[in-house]
Chain A
Amino acid sequence: MSSSLIRRASDHGQRRLPFDVQNVGLAGLLLVAPGVVLFLSFMLFPIAFLVYLSFTDATHAGTVIGGEASVVGFDNYVSLFTDPQFWRSFGITWLFLAISLAIKVVLGIGIAMVLTHARVVGKRYMRALVIVPMGFPAIFVITVWDGMFSGARYGPLNQLVATYNSVVSGLVGALDSLLFFVALSAPDILLADIPISWLSGRWSAFFAYITTEVWLAYPFMVIIIVSALQDVPMDLHDAAKVDGAGYVHRFFHVTLPSIKRPVLFASILTAATSFQQFLIPFIFNRGGPSRQNELLILYGYREAIDLNEYAFASAIMVTAIAFIGMFMWLAVKKGKLAEGIDS
Chain B
Amino acid sequence: MSLLNRYTSSVGRWTVRKLTWPRRVAESARTTVEQVRTGRRSVTDVAKTGLGTAGAFAMMLILLFPVYWVFAASLSQGAGLMSTDGIFADPTTYNLDAYRWVLFESNFAHALGNSIIVVSITVAVSMSVIIPGAYALSRRKFLGRRGILYGYVLFTQVGAGLSIATLIALYALFVNFGLDNNLLVLGVFYAAGAIPFNTWLLKTFMDNIPVSYEEAAVIDGASQLQVIREVILPLSKPGIAVVLVFTFLAGWNEFIIAQTLLQSHNYTLSVELYSLIAGGSYETPWTEFSAFAILFALPVAVIYFLAQSYVESGLSFGGMEG
Residues of A within 8 A of B (CB): 19, 23-29, 31-32, 34-36, 38-39, 41-43, 46-47, 49-50, 53, 58, 61-62, 64-66, 111, 114-115, 117, 119-123, 125-126, 129-130, 132-141, 143-148, 150, 152-156, 159-160, 215, 218, 220, 223-224, 227-228, 231, 261-262, 265-266, 269, 272-273, 275-279, 282-283, 297, 300-301, 304-305, 310, 313-314, 317, 320-321, 324, 327-328, 331-332, 335-343
Contacts and interface: CB of A to CB of B under 8 A. Distances in A.
Contact of A336 (B162, B165, B166, B318): B318
Given A120-B52, A223-B312, A114 B168 contact: no
A335 B274 contact: no
A31 B136 CA distance: 6
19 contacts: A28-B136, A28-B140, A32-B136, A36-B133, A50-B165, A61-B171, A115-B56, A121-B53, A130-B63, A137-B253, A147-B69, A154-B83, A159-B84, A262-B320, A262-B322, A310-B172, A327-B158, A339-B319, A340-B204
Interface stretch (B106-114, B147-155, B236-244): B147-155
Nearest to A318: B165
A223 B312 CA distance: 8
B169 A50 contact: yes
B71 to A, nearest CB: 10
Interface residues of B, number: 112
A133 B248 CA distance: 18
A126 B168 contact: no
B168 A310 contact: yes
A144 B70 contact: yes
Interface in B132-175: 132-133, 135-137, 139-146, 148-150, 153-155, 157-173, 175
Nearest to B260: A305
A139 B253 contact: yes
B75 interface: no
Contacts of A139: 253, 255, 270, 273-274
A18 to B, nearest CB: 9
A283 to B, nearest CB: 7
B189 A50 contact: no
Contact of B67 (A119, A132, A283): A132
Given A36-B148, A114-B56, 13 more contacts: A26-B142, A32-B137, A42-B193, A43-B166, A137-B296, A143-B273, A159-B84, A279-B255, A279-B256, A300-B168, A317-B165, A324-B161, A336-B322
Contacts of B293: 140, 143-144
Nearest to B72: A156
Contacts of B168: 50, 300-301, 304-305, 310, 313-314, 317
Contacts of B322: 261-262, 265, 336
A25 B141 contact: yes
Q: Of B57, B64, B82, B169, which is in contact with the most chain A CB atoms at under 10 Å from its CB?
A: B169
A337 B161 contact: no
Contacts of A140: 273, 293, 296-297
A135 B304 contact: yes
Contacts of B305: 135
A28 B136 CA distance: 5
Contacts of A58: 172
Interface string B274-316: 1001100001101001100100110011101100100110011
A156 B86 contact: yes
Can you list the 8 inter-chain pairs with the closest CB atoms, starting with the nearest? A276-B161, A25-B142, A28-B140, A119-B52, A336-B319, A28-B142, A31-B136, A137-B253
A28 B207 CA distance: 15
Interface string B229-262: 0000000000000000000010011011000100
B130 interface: yes
B320 A320 contact: no
Contacts of B130: 35
B320 A278 contact: no
